[in-house]
């Protein structure tokens, strides 16, 4: 009798346990074939069950899964930090990065991957993306068309694949998440080996136009605020077999068609060009910010585009990121920043997360001068190191990148509020704050007048640049 009662008790407890388990949301890992997958293969659990929603805990926190400097709602110089930053997660590096490089095979196989590039896998990745955004506290994302949906055998099949994934993205975006920008991947497929808009093959030019047309449509459908052109292969390997003038003309015509279609479909987003000097081509036509600005002016496109400055591309072109964002700003072209950096000892595009507080401070000084980046933002076009293979590393990298830029914003605000650096610069140019200086800056001083003044004044007295003092003031804010 006692044994029968004991068995009845165990049976009752088992039923209660099953009810509780059924009622609780699944939190098991997103492994293929796990109990959280339905018969159709659709995932019903969390992809990051061990990761909480990331919160601000302040500089003294030792918790790697917390913000130390980025406090989204805190006001700096009259604007919330989240509005200065407008952070965005790049789908391609974050969820399609494999850790592979020219010298080694992929090192990352995330638990939700099944080893295919199927439509079902694309949808699963999209769900991963939005869970990540929600937990990291970022409300914007970016994509390449072929990164979020598989390429088909025909344009029609590729478009259908993209439509299906984008429909899911639209549903998952809801009212809290928005698209910062979309773009087309016009550099991976063999058809683009000679370029896209600059290819000598008419068929490739036509195919690229059709691909951009569709990518612009889905960007518009998702409420994207910008559309980016990155000419990864818009350049040359040798001028011996290249008609550079004709290729540049073709690229301008391509951009003109994009502008016309943007207006036709009512897309009010900003068109962005992303400068890069080389790699994979020997020379790319959008070498740096100044080159891109010159191209836009020559072809009468300057009022239709802004620039997406990537910090790692800046260093590859022989400039600092500060130089490139400042060049874009003074030309009225600063539209967006791809927040990454390169290794000074490595000569290629390493796309590392920005961790240098000094670099971030310099960038933020220009962003503040620019009044912010909207409708652009800071997009994390950055990838984990090949050796970083834990799912947790995806969060740690983004947290560190966000904290670095937030710290840069705080430092830049201190420098501006202190005023010492600004005063040093003002004094250096104070000789132009005179009647003659004003005439020169207004374009009203001719050479005859200037020669008269040179004879009258004699040898000029040239003052110190005070560079070390400027560096001292800057370092004191870090």
Instruction: Please give the full DSSP string across 329-362, using - where no structure is assigned.
Output: HHTT-EEEEE--B--TT--S---BPP--HHHHHH
User: Rounded CA gap, 278 and 298, in Å?
Assistant: 22
Q: Within a domain: residue 232?
A: yes
Domain that holds residue 467: 432-476
The Cα-based distances of 231 to 152, 261, 281, 298 in angstroms read: 22, 19, 10, 18
Q: How confident is the model at residue 348 (pLDDT cuts 50, 70, 90)?
A: confident
- The residue among 396, 418, 440 that closes a domain is 418
- Residue 399, C-beta contacts closer than 8 angstroms, at least 6 positions apart: 54, 64, 65, 66, 67, 136
**H-state helical runs in 331-446:** 357-369, 391-418, 420-428, 435-441
Cβ atoms 295, 234 nearer than 8 A: no
Task: Tell me what the pLDDT averaged over the chain comes to.
Answer: 92
User: 321 and 465: one domain?
Assistant: no
Instruction: Please report where in the chains the tokens 């081509």 appear, as a residue.
Output: 281
% pLDDT > 70, the chain: 91
Q: Within a domain: residue 457?
A: yes
Question: % helix / strand / coil in the chain, to the nearest 5?
Answer: 50, 10, 40
Position 31 pLDDT exceeds 60: no
- The residue among 370, 389, 418 that closes a domain is 418
Q: What is the mean pLDDT of residues 10-18?
A: 36
User: Rounded CA gap, 340 and 378, in Å?
Assistant: 9
**H-state helical runs in 101-201:** 119-136, 145-148, 155-173
Q: How many domains does the chain have?
A: 2
Q: Within a domain: residue 162?
A: yes
Q: Are strands 55-56 and 79-80 parallel, antiparallel or unpaired?
A: unpaired
Q: Within a domain: residue 444?
A: yes
DSSP summary character for residue 460: -
CB atoms within 10 A of CB 242: 17
User: 198 and 94: one domain?
Assistant: yes
Cβ atoms 108, 384 nearer than 8 A: yes
DSSP summary character for residue 37: B
Cβ atoms 276, 286 nearer than 8 A: yes
Active site residues: 144
Q: What is the pLDDT of residue 36?
A: 60
Cβ atoms 366, 339 nearer than 8 A: no
User: 405 and 453: one domain?
Assistant: no
Q: Within a domain: residue 308?
A: yes
Position 6 pLDDT exceeds 80: no
pLDDT tens column, 357-374: 999 999 999 999 999 999
Position 172 pLDDT exceeds 60: yes
Burial of 190 (0-12, 13-18, 19+ CB in 10 A): exposed
User: 310 and 276: one domain?
Assistant: yes
Beta-bridged to residue 179, according to DSSP, are: 141
Q: How confident is the model at residue 30 (pLDDT cuts 50, 70, 90)?
A: low
User: 346 and 470: one domain?
Assistant: no
Q: Within a domain: residue 81?
A: yes
Instruction: Please report where in the chains the tokens 């088992």 appear, as a residue.
Output: 14
% pLDDT > 90, the chain: 88
DSSP summary character for residue 101: B
Q: What is the pLDDT of residue 24?
A: 37
User: 378 and 464: one domain?
Assistant: no
User: 272 and 203: one domain?
Assistant: yes
User: 459 and 359: one domain?
Assistant: no
User: 350 and 449: one domain?
Assistant: no
Q: How confident is the model at residue 418 (pLDDT cuts 50, 70, 90)?
A: very high
User: Rounded CA gap, 441 and 32, in Å?
Assistant: 67
User: 394 and 468: one domain?
Assistant: no
User: Rounded CA gap, 385 and 198, in Å?
Assistant: 33
Q: What is the mean pLDDT of residues 276-283?
A: 94
User: Rounded CA gap, 410 and 408, in Å?
Assistant: 5
pLDDT tens column, 78-127: 999 999 999 999 999 999 999 998 899 999 999 999 999 999 999 999 99
Find the CATH number of the domain harbouring 174.
Answer: 3.20.20.150
Element housing 184 (H / E): none
User: 138 and 221: one domain?
Assistant: yes
Cβ atoms 233, 280 nearer than 8 A: yes
Q: What is the pLDDT of residue 291?
A: 98
Position 15 pLDDT exceeds 70: no
Q: How confident is the model at residue 26 (pLDDT cuts 50, 70, 90)?
A: very low
Q: How confident is the model at residue 37 (pLDDT cuts 50, 70, 90)?
A: low
Burial of 41 (0-12, 13-18, 19+ CB in 10 A): middle
Q: What is the mean pLDDT of residues 321-350?
A: 95
User: Rounded CA gap, 282 and 458, in Å?
Assistant: 50
Instruction: Please report where in the chains the tokens 């992929």 appear, as a residue.
Output: 106
Residue of 166, 148, 169, 149 lying closest to 157 (CA atoms): 149
Q: Which residues of 100-133 are buried (b: 16+ CB within 10 A; e: fewer)?
A: eeeeeeebbeeebbeeeeeeebbbbbbbbbbbbb
Q: Within a domain: residue 387?
A: yes
User: Rounded CA gap, 273 and 198, in Å?
Assistant: 15
Q: Within a domain: residue 194?
A: yes
Cβ atoms 243, 279 nearer than 8 A: no
DSSP summary character for residue 240: G
Angle at which helices 155-173 and 119-136 pack, to 10 degrees? Answer: 30
Q: How confident is the model at residue 35 (pLDDT cuts 50, 70, 90)?
A: low
């Amino acid at each position: 009798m006692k044994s029968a009662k004991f068995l009845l008790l165990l049976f009752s407890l088992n039923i209660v346990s099953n009810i509780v388990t059924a009622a609780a949301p699944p939190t098991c890992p997103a492994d293929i074939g796990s109990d959280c997958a339905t018969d159709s293969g659709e995932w019903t659990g969390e992809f990051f069950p061990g990761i909480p929603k990331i919160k601000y805990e302040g500089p003294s926190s030792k918790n790697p899964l917390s913000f130390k400097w980025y406090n989204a709602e805190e006001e700096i110089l009259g604007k919330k930090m989240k509005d200065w930053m407008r952070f965005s997660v790049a789908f391609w590096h974050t969820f399609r990065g494999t850790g592979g490089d020219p010298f080694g095979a992929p090192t990352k196989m995330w638990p939700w991957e099944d080893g295919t590039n199927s439509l079902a896998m694309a949808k699963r990745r999209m769900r991963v993306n939005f869970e990540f955004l929600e937990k990291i506290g970022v409300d914007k994302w970016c994509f390449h068309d072929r990164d979020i949906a598989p390429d088909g055998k025909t344009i029609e099949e590729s478009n259908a694949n993209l439509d299906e994934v984008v429909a899911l993205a639209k549903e998952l975006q809801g009212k809290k998440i928005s698209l910062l920008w979309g773009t087309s991947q016009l550099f991976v497929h063999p058809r683009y080996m000679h370029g896209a808009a600059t290819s000598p093959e008419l068929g490739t030019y036509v195919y690229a136009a059709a691909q951009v047309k569709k990518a612009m449509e889905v960007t518009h459908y998702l409420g994207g605020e910008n559309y980016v052109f990155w000419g990864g292969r818009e350049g040359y390997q040798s001028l011996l077999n290249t008609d550079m003038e004709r290729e540049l003309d073709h690229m301008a015509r391509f951009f003109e068609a994009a502008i016309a279609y943007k207006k036709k479909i009512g897309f009010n987003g900003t068109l962005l060009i992303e400068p890069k000097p080389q790699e994979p081509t020997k020379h790319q036509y959008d070498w740096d910010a100044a080159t891109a600005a010159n191209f836009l002016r020559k072809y009468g496109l300057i009022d239709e585009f802004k620039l997406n400055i990537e910090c790692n591309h800046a260093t590859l072109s022989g400039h600092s990121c500060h130089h490139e964002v400042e060049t874009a700003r003074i030309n009225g072209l600063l539209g967006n920043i791809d927040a990454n950096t390169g290794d000074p000892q490595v000569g290629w595009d390493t796309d590392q997360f920005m961790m240098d507080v000094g670099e971030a401070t310099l960038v933020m000084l220009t962003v503040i001068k620019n009044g912010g980046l909207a409708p652009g933002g800071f997009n994390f076009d950055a990838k984990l190191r090949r050796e970083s293979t834990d799912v947790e590393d995806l969060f740690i990298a983004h947290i560190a990148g966000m904290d670095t830029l937030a710290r840069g914003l705080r430092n830049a605000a201190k420098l501006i509020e202190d005023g010492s650096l600004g005063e040093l610069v003002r004094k250096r140019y104070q000789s132009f704050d005179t009647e003659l200086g004003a005439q020169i800056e207004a374009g009203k001083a001719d050479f005859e007048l200037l020669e008269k003044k040179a004879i009258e004044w004699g040898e000029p007295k040239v003052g110190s640049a005070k560079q070390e003092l400027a560096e001292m003031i800057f370092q004191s804010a870090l």
